[in-house]
Amino acid sequence: MRHHWSRYATDGTVVGMTSQLPSPISASRPTPPSDVLNHIFEMRFTSTPRGARLARRLAAHRLDAWGMAYGTDPHEEIVLIVGELTANAVRHGHVPSRDFHLLLHASEPARTVRIEVTDTRTECTPPEPDALTAPDPQDTSGRGLLLVAGLATRWGWHLRPGGSGKTVWAECVFAAR
């Protein structure tokens, strides 16, 4: 996150401001206790295949920086889920000149990583987790959410509060090291 510092001329107070836009759902998220170690990465990406690829690569880099090393099962599973959810946001949630939003939230004590991808298209929603079915063997698409369901501890979706679109989320809980 890039910070910009400015000094008000009147009283010399230094104020930190961030160029990062707030999450579309962060207002509804509870604040964790201060003794809990949390890692959060969120960013908006263009709703294109290039944006989905960049989101996946930045998520992989961030997970590695948080101590979830490249090549480990948790790292690879989360990156695959990010790839599937961002590709779905591009393919099924694309609205011209609108971005999608990626949020990664890793909670250390519970060893939980939550992935959220928010797009701006409301009318094209995924099936409910318990209604997910396999496509015909001849179909060349339609398996992404099956991969997410197989890798994630739980997943789901909800309409975006206060605006158009939806958020598809997945949570992965890993055993303690």
Specify the pTM. 0.78
The pLDDT tens digits for 53-110 are 999 999 999 999 999 999 999 999 999 999 999 999 999 999 998 999 999 999 977 6
- Mutual angle of helices 144-151 and 73-92, in 10-degree steps: 150
At 125 the pLDDT is 92
- C-alpha to C-alpha distances, 158 to 32, 74, 78, 93, 168, nearest whole angstrom: 22, 25, 20, 13, 7
The pLDDT tens digits for 130-172 are 999 888 888 887 799 999 999 999 999 999 988 899 999 999 9
The pLDDT tens digits for 19-29 are 344 454 444 44
Residue in the structure block whose two tokens are 């707030």: 22
Asked whether the beta carbons of 115 and 82 are under 8 A apart, the reply is yes
Specify the higher pLDDT residue, 30 or 62: 62
Q: How far apart are CA 59 and CA 103, in angstroms?
A: 9
Given the candidates 2.40.40.20, 3.30.565.10, 2.60.40.10, 3.40.50.920, the CATH classification of the domain at 20-173 is: 3.30.565.10
Q: What stretches of the chain show up as alpha helix (H) in DSSP?
A: 49-65, 73-92, 144-151
